[in-house]
Amino acid sequence: MTDEQATATDGLRGVFSGRLLTAAEDMAPFLTDWRGQWRGAARAVAQPDTAADVAAVVRWCAANGAPVVPQGGNTGLSGGATPDAGGRAVVVSLARMNRVRALDTLNNTITVEAGCVLKAVQAAAAEAGRYFPLSLASEGSCTIGGALSTNAGGVAVLRYGNARELCLGLEVVTPAGEVWDGLRGLRKDNTGYDLRDLFIGAEGTLGVVTAAVMKLFPAPAARLVAFVAVPSPDAALRLLDLAQNRLGPGLTAFELVSELCLELVLKRFEDARDPFAARSPWYVLVEATDLISEARAREALEALLAEAFEAELIADGTVAASLAQARALWALRENISEAQAAEGKNIKHDVAVPISRIGAFIEEAQAALARAFPGVRPVVFGHLGDGNLHFNVSPPAGQPHEAFAKLRAEVNTVVHDLVAAFGGSISAEHGLGVLRRDEAARYKAPVEIALMRAIKQAIDPHGLMNPGKVLAP
């Protein structure tokens, strides 16, 4: 930081009541992402207490030409919350804005500040006898503001929708340092352009989300989990169709797991158990919930599996008999990323294609990768019910992972070209940040990029908000 910047940063202390960090060791955790993949620099980290504080910080940044980098739990996977290396930015951490402002059981809404950790929102809802369904493996650290800004998905999108669909209203500090109070808990509001939807998924490039009204739901009385062996992704798709017809809204999760994924988890985690005697090329985790009773949920799920078995959609299946067993089955799905990471570097893709085309996509992508990079091992799993696959690629067995990681761009091109050909998306739930920014520009139509730039220019004409994220400067 130059002397001039240091003097100017001193002025920032006086404009708001929260905490200001300027010492290198205090700022360090805010200047890199949780995996240490991106590193940046900043002149300060501001931790405001109120929306008015955030507005004051943003006004100060505008007056002093300091870019604003909003940050929640810093668990994002696309580098969106890390400042660039220039050292001019102020990171605005929402961590201290973590209050539940209101909970209305008749309106079925909860109004929370942006820094509320997802798990705390779930707990507040449960305490009031309601259910808040947004659920991700990072829920113990990620915040509502971050989840909304990346339009996070997770494991219950099939039934309840992603973060966008769960949000009714927002409070946002604009790049001009004004507070927009859009905290309306309305299910219907057709009064012009939907500003809320602009800020959701904007990854902090249009403003700082300071609070949100989120939907609540009745708390399920029972949650049952089955793990089944299926011969192919197409059989899994037909099982999905059957499950949707038999369970209706009781179907809350439908997750695909490949044989290699299960193998990696069993190798890495000592307490993981293979549910079946014989291996299968594919597996599906099915979660069913019921508002009335466990008996009803069990009856419906077992009837579904019997019918699927009869139709030869599944070769084997098990329904968890206890909460501990249900957790163990979920762990087989949720520990895949960690098990794969333990093997060494791999090349990750978070893609979406129309659900009906998932089987064909997996087949073609595997074949295209085998042609271009003989021996590579696709590690395929994901939210099949949402058309969202984590299509990760590990090097051929025995080959060094570091060398393989250098092929990232080429591997990405093979997978993402095919995603585009299937009418899909190269980022289903992790956002663009800096990781996928330039690739997105390649796959989106020029008119789409031009409209995005026009929106950015209209709302943030000086390019103050999280520059370099989502759109190239």
Ligand X SMILES: Cc1cc2nc3c(=O)[nH]c(=O)nc-3n(C[C@H](O)[C@H](O)[C@H](O)COP(=O)(O)OP(=O)(O)OC[C@H]3O[C@@H](n4cnc5c(N)ncnc54)[C@H](O)[C@@H]3O)c2cc1C
Distance (Å) of CA 461 to CA 4, 174, 467, 468? 25, 11, 11, 14
Phi-psi region of 316 (alpha: psi -120 to 50; beta: other; left: phi over 0): beta
Q: How far apart are CA 140 and CA 117, in angstroms?
A: 7
Q: What is the CA radius of gyration of the chain?
A: 23
Considering the complex, state which of residue 174 and residue 394 has its C-beta at the smaller distance from ligand X: 174
Considering the complex, state which of residue 208 and residue 235 has its C-beta at the smaller distance from ligand X: 208
Q: Of the listed pieces 73-81, 216-224, 295-303, 367-375, which binds ligand X according to CB under 6 A? A: 73-81
Considering the complex, state which of residue 136 and residue 415 has its C-beta at the smaller distance from ligand X: 136
From the number of C-beta atoms within 10 Å of its C-beta (0-12, 13-18, 19+), residue 87 rates as: middle
Closest separation in Å from C-beta 432 to ligand X: 9
Site string for ligand X, 21-40 (x = CB under 6 A): -------------x------
Does position 114 interact with ligand X (CB under 6 A)? The reply is yes
Residues 189-208 that bind ligand X (CB under 6 A): 203-204, 208
Residue whose pair of structure tokens reads 């507070």 in the numeric block: 179
Does position 70 interact with ligand X (CB under 6 A)? The reply is yes
Q: Of the listed pieces 15-23, 119-127, 144-152, 185-193, which binds ligand X according to CB under 6 A? A: 144-152
Considering the complex, state which of residue 209 and residue 389 has its C-beta at the smaller distance from ligand X: 209
Closest separation in Å from C-beta 33 to ligand X: 7
Considering the complex, state which of residue 113 and residue 290 has its C-beta at the smaller distance from ligand X: 113
Q: Which residue is nearest to ligand X (CB)?
A: 146
Structure tokens at 431: 């956002």
Considering the complex, state which of residue 72 and residue 133 has its C-beta at the smaller distance from ligand X: 72
Closest to 237 (Cα-Cα) out of 353, 352, 318, 356: 356
Selected from 136, 225, 251, 376, the binder of ligand X by CB under 6 A is 136
User: Phi/psi of residue 96, each to 5°?
Assistant: -85, -10
Closest separation in Å from C-beta 428 to ligand X: 8
Pairing relationship of beta strands 167-173 and 208-215 according to DSSP bridges: antiparallel
From the number of C-beta atoms within 10 Å of its C-beta (0-12, 13-18, 19+), residue 167 rates as: buried
Closest to 386 (Cα-Cα) out of 417, 342, 413, 354: 354
DSSP 29: G
Angle between helices 358-372 and 233-247 (to 10 degrees): 160
Closest separation in Å from C-beta 111 to ligand X: 15
Considering the complex, state which of residue 108 and residue 466 has its C-beta at the smaller distance from ligand X: 466
Given a contact cutoff of 8 angstroms between Cβ atoms, the answer to whether 52 and 67 are in contact is no
Residues 405-434 that bind ligand X (CB under 6 A): 429-430, 433
Selected from 40, 67, 73, 378, the binder of ligand X by CB under 6 A is 73
User: Which residues, listed in sequence order, are joined to residue 104 by a DSSP beta bridge?
Assistant: 109
Does position 80 interact with ligand X (CB under 6 A)? The reply is yes
Does position 54 interact with ligand X (CB under 6 A)? The reply is no
Selected from 50, 75, 111, 427, the binder of ligand X by CB under 6 A is 75
Given a contact cutoff of 8 angstroms between Cβ atoms, the answer to whether 288 and 280 are in contact is no
Does position 255 interact with ligand X (CB under 6 A)? The reply is no
- Amino acid code (one letter) for 375: G
Selected from 74, 258, 280, 335, the binder of ligand X by CB under 6 A is 74
- Measure CA of the first residue to CA of the last residue in the chain; give whole Å: 22
Residues 430-469 that bind ligand X (CB under 6 A): 430, 433, 466, 469
Q: How far apart are CA 374 and CA 49, in angstroms?
A: 54
Does position 142 interact with ligand X (CB under 6 A)? The reply is yes
Selected from 18, 67, 76, 395, the binder of ligand X by CB under 6 A is 76
Closest separation in Å from C-beta 45 to ligand X: 12
Considering the complex, state which of residue 94 and residue 284 has its C-beta at the smaller distance from ligand X: 94
Given a contact cutoff of 8 angstroms between Cβ atoms, the answer to whether 93 and 19 are in contact is no
**Number of other residues whose CB lies within 10 A of the CB of residue 103:** 18
Selected from 48, 146, 177, 395, the binder of ligand X by CB under 6 A is 146
Chain Cα centroid distance, residue 234: 26
DSSP 395: P
Considering the complex, state which of residue 76 and residue 220 has its C-beta at the smaller distance from ligand X: 76
Does position 145 interact with ligand X (CB under 6 A)? The reply is yes
Residues making contact with ligand X (CB under 6 A):
34, 69-77, 80-81, 94, 114, 136-138, 142-143, 145-147, 149-150, 152-154, 203-204, 208-209, 429-430, 433, 466, 469
